[in-house]
């Protein structure tokens, strides 16, 4: 059986085809979900890809969160279904309050498009369950507003509940400002909800899915999730 991966498409989404290719490589069946749809067309998991939904007007993700499709995504997430937000998708999940915190303008004030190393911090939830803690993944980022922020008390809570999923790091997993491309607090590159079924990350796993792209590490996340969906 092939698992259906719904890929949300908002006006201004730009990474849905890359995501579809990634899903196919991982052995899933991609299904595009236009933002005006009210249901997920039988998707087992949902991906919110990168881009500039609704032109990033007002704030990144601020308008997209009101899309009819987002009601269905919210129901799916609250029922424990896997949801992955990548880049703009992460920003949308934060605005929709399915994930804590917010993404702000990079501290360098530049759009950053580069390869990054990520350290796996949490190994629960559908996307990271197949990985060991401390593993280093290589994936590119491509964003101007990826500086993760949460109020101090919420940051403590995130750390205490193991919700920090990924951190920017050096090639050997070392943490430092020189490896943090956007000024994210605690070098955070990805966070999950308390339950672990909703993951948001600024780096692009779908752009690290075959040797030609320089890394296949992005496949791990999706293969883990598909294996889990298949087992349940």
Partner 1 sequence: MTLKPVVNDPQGLAVTQGLHALGYPEVLGTRVGKHIQLTLTARDRQGAESRVEEMCRRLLCNGVIEDFHFQVAEVGA
Catalytic (active-site) positions: 87, 204, 206
Q: How far is the CB of 109 from partner 1 (least distance, A)?
A: 5
99 half-sphere exposure, CB direction, 13 A CA radius: 32
- Token reading at 52: 């500039």
Q: What is the dihedral of CA 129, 133, 135, 141, to 10 degrees?
A: 70
**Which among 157, 150, 160, 166 is positioned nearest to 100, based on CA atoms?**
150
The one among 1, 109, 172, 231 contacting partner 1 by CB under 8 A = 109
Which residue stretch of 34-42, 56-64, 122-130, 203-211 sits at the interface with partner 1 (rule: CB under 8 A)? 56-64
Binding mask of the shown chain, residues 147 to 186, with x at each position contacting partner 1 by CB under 8 A = --xxxx------------------------------x---
Q: Is 141 in the site for partner 1 (CB under 8 A)?
A: no
Read off the DSSP letter of residue 223.
Answer: H
| Residue 26 burial (CB count, 10 A) | 23
Residue 230 Cβ vs partner 1, minimum distance, rounded to whole Å: 36
Q: Are 126 and 109 in contact (CB under 8 A)?
A: no
CB of 73 to partner 1, least distance (A): 18
Give the residues lining the site for partner 1 (CB under 8 A).
58-59, 62, 66, 94-95, 101-102, 104-109, 149-152, 183
């Amino acid at each position: 059986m092939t698992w259906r991966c719904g890929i949300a498409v908002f006006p201004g989404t730009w990474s849905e085809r890359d995501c579809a290719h990634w899903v196919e490589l991982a052995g899933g069946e991609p299904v595009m979900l236009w933002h005006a749809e009210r249901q997920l067309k039988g998707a087992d998991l949902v991906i919110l890809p990168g881009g500039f939904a609704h032109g990033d007007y007002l704030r990144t993700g601020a308008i997209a969160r009101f899309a009819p499709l987002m009601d269905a995504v919210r129901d799916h997430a609250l029922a424990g279904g896997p949801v992955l937000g990548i880049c703009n998708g992460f920003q949308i999940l934060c605005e929709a309050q399915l994930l804590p915190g917010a993404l702000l303008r990079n501290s360098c004030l530049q759009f950053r498009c580069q390869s990054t190393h990520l350290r796996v911090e949490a190994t629960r939830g559908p996307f990271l369950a197949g990985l060991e803690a401390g593993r280093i993944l290589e994936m590119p980022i491509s964003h101007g507003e990826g500086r993760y922020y949460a109020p101090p008390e919420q940051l403590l809570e995130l750390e205490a509940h193991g919700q920090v999923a990924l951190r920017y790091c050096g090639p050997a997993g070392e943490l430092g400002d020189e490896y943090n491309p956007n000024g994210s607090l605690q070098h955070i590159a990805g966070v999950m909800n308390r339950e672990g079924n909703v993951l948001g990350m600024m780096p692009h796993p779908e752009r690290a899915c075959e040797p030609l792209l320089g890394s296949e590490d992005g496949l791990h996340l999706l293969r883990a999730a598909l294996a889990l969906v298949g087992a349940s």
